[in-house]
Amino acid sequence: MFSELAVGYLFLGGAGAGGCAVAALLSLLIGRDDLTPALQAQFRSGEGRLFRAFLSPLLVASLGALLVGVACLLADLGQPARLLLLAFSGKITHLTVGAWALVLCAADAALLLLVWRGAARITAALFRAANGLLLALALVVALYTGLLLSSMTAVPLWSGAALPALFLVSALSCGLALAAGLASVTEAARTFATTLHRLQAADMAAIALEAALVAAWLAWVPAADATATAQAASQSVAQLVSGPLAPAFWGGFVAVGMALPFCVEAVATAAWSARPVAPGAITLRHETWRRASLAAASLSVLAGGFLLRYLVVTAALQPISVVAPLL
């Protein structure tokens, strides 16, 4: 029903929003004693430089994903003016709220990126306020795509409350993966090792919740209606679990996108708990394995995030009673 560009927008918008949410939350967790001197030095020395090396690339990647996602949306619409007309129509819909949240989220992320790069100076209070706003806006952007799809009642597969929650959790998981993956190729992997360990633990929880939401969504959809619409819902679910989309669903999304990163992160967590604690005892082999586990889990989660949205869109079938008048 949607084009490939729309699928790209759903994925990039979700991953970008998730990354912004993670960056904002981590920024809010910086202690006052560290934040004030870091802002005064414009993140160019001391602890501030370390924070910038960790969080600035995440914000760059997240903002880039949001902007490319918007470009996909505009290209899919064909006429960018239609989006402007929709935004200023005065009607409050999932699309208008999401569009404004997306614009404001990107603007806030760009402002904070200038602060991280030392191109703008703000107070600690404004820094925290901007990150608090970014966190709220990012959560709205991550959630609204699922709300938009679920509001399309002509598509049974998209109905129900589980899909918006699934998209939100998936976006946050992608954001966590983006943070860990970028850190795996920088010195942040060593400097913020404890933080990254906690991010992996959080992603394991997100993956487990995502799996539960997928099961609830697929179980609820066929039983949602007792009308002819239920037939289309059952056909959509059958396409995913036993039909032509089953290899991509089970082998791609479930195995590669959820099971693989969960197992990698579980092993990494166990290895972290058993790590040597004496100074200098962590060898190059330990460090290489930890970086590889961060990168592998991150790539798998991001692939799963894309496959989820691709499969949700591709498996959508309108009921015959709705499609017939259009033929």
Q: Give per-10-residue mean pLDDT for the chain (327 aa).
A: 83 97 98 93 91 96 95 79 68 78 95 95 96 98 88 81 94 98 91 92 98 91 60 85 95 98 93 62 70 94 97 77 38
Write down the pLDDT at residue 205. Answer: 98
Write down the pLDDT at residue 98. Answer: 82
Write down the pLDDT at residue 325. Answer: 37
Closest CA to 21 of 242, 206, 240: 206
pTM of the model: 0.90
Spacing of C-alpha 91 from chain mean position: 27
Write down the pLDDT at residue 307. Answer: 98
Write down the pLDDT at residue 322. Answer: 43
Write down the pLDDT at residue 227. Answer: 59
Rounded CA separation 221/310 (Å):
18
**Superfamily of domain 4-326 in the CATH hierarchy:** Formate dehydrogenase/DMSO reductase domain (1.20.1630.10)
Write down the pLDDT at residue 113. Answer: 97
Write down the pLDDT at residue 320. Answer: 44
Write down the pLDDT at residue 87. Answer: 67
Output 128-136 pairs: Cβ under 8 A, ≥24 positions apart: 128/27, 128/28, 131/24, 131/25, 131/27, 131/28, 132/24, 132/28, 133/108, 134/20, 134/21, 134/23, 134/24, 134/105, 134/108, 134/109, 135/20, 135/21, 135/24, 135/25, 135/28
Rounded CA separation 100/303 (Å):
27
Task: Describe the crossing of helices 94-116 and 124-150 by its angle, rounded to 10 degrees.
Answer: 150
Write down the pLDDT at residue 64. Answer: 98
Write down the pLDDT at residue 190. Answer: 86
